[in-house]
């Protein structure tokens, strides 16, 4: 159990030992509920084949991709993480479709275009009728590099490509931005 707990980020042997004893001493019922929840999530949640957001294996493609009204917007918003989709959805400022990168380009960590699934995005650009790609990666160095890479890829398809603008703080991630600010940054996106 101590070894298994160390799979969590930031949990080393000392913390893992403390958690293990804590569960054994005081939280057996809760611990069992937690392992059941983890088991269910890991067994039943996969990536949507279209947007690569998390979805139930029984609901592929995901709810957002299956929504015909969203498809009519002919736009794809590219984000780094599934929680960015949730943040944008909560701001109710965007009605189109998404593509989730699950990270950003980071050659030193071995994360290139393939790891971000960009070939799937390319397939969508050539197969779907897309009129705009909005790049909503964070305003960090890696987020900007990723945005430029995707922008040049999208331009080859003669599709409008824009980048979310003001409001999202430099060095900031979308999840930490309130809904109104996020809505503004989408409205004031600029062409790339
Ligand atoms: Zn989807």
Q: What is the distance in A from the centroid of ligand 1 to the CA of 84?
A: 14
Q: What is the distance in A from the centroid of ligand 1 to the CA of 126?
A: 17
Q: What is the distance in A from the centroid of ligand 1 to the CA of 68?
A: 12
Q: What is the distance in A from the centroid of ligand 1 to the CA of 85?
A: 11
Indicate if 36 and 69 belong to the same structural domain.
no
Q: What is the distance in A from the centroid of ligand 1 to the CA of 101?
A: 12
> Left (φ > 0), alpha (ψ -120 to 50) or beta: where does 30 sit?
alpha
Indicate if 102 and 182 belong to the same structural domain.
yes
Q: What is the distance in A from the centroid of ligand 1 to the CA of 170?
A: 28
The pLDDT score that the predictor gives to residue 185 is: 77
The pLDDT score that the predictor gives to residue 33 is: 97
Indicate if 86 and 179 belong to the same structural domain.
yes
Q: What is the distance in A from the centroid of ligand 1 to the CA of 127?
A: 15
Rg (CA), the chain: 19
Indicate if 13 and 105 belong to the same structural domain.
no
Q: What is the CATH number of the domain that holds 156?
A: 3.40.1360.10
The pLDDT score that the predictor gives to residue 22 is: 97
- pLDDT, block means (10 residues), the chain with 192 residues: 96 97 97 96 94 92 95 96 93 94 94 96 96 92 93 96 74 69 76 84
Judge contact between 98 and 79, C-beta under 8 A: yes
Indicate if 68 and 12 belong to the same structural domain.
no
Indicate if 133 and 177 belong to the same structural domain.
yes
The pLDDT score that the predictor gives to residue 190 is: 79
Indicate if 75 and 27 belong to the same structural domain.
no
Judge contact between 104 and 142, C-beta under 8 A: yes
Residues in the chain: 192
Indicate if 38 and 86 belong to the same structural domain.
no
Indicate if 58 and 91 belong to the same structural domain.
yes
Domain count, the chain: 2
Indicate if 136 and 70 belong to the same structural domain.
yes
CA dihedral of residues 122, 123, 124, 128 (deg, nearest 10): 120
Indicate if 157 and 65 belong to the same structural domain.
yes
Indicate if 118 and 174 belong to the same structural domain.
yes
Q: Flag whether the pTM goes above 0.95.
A: no
Q: Domain range holding 37? A: 2-45
Q: What is the distance in A from the centroid of ligand 1 to the CA of 100?
A: 9
């Amino acid at each position: 159990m101590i070894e298994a707990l160390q799979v969590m980020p930031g949990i080393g042997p000392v913390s893992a030992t403390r958690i293990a004893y804590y569960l054994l001493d005081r939280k057996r019922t809760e611990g069992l509920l937690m392992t059941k929840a983890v088991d269910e999530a890991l067994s039943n949640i996969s990536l949507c084949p279209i947007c690569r957001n998390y979805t139930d294996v029984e609901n592929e493609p995901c709810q957002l991709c299956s929504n015909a009204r969203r498809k009519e917007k002919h736009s794809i918003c590219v984000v780094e993480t599934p929680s960015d989709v949730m943040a944008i959805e909560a701001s109710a400022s965007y009605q189109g479709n998404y593509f989730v990168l699950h990270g950003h380009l980071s050659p030193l960590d071995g994360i290139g275009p393939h790891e971000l699934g960009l070939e799937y995005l390319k397939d969508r650009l050539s197969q779907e009728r897309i009129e705009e790609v909005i790049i909503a990666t964070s305003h960090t160095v890696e987020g900007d590099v990723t945005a430029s890479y995707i922008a040049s890829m999208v331009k080859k398809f003669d599709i409008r490509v824009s980048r979310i603008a003001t409001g999202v703080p430099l060095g900031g991630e979308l999840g930490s931005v309130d809904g109104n600010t996020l809505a503004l940054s989408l409205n004031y996106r600029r062409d790339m």
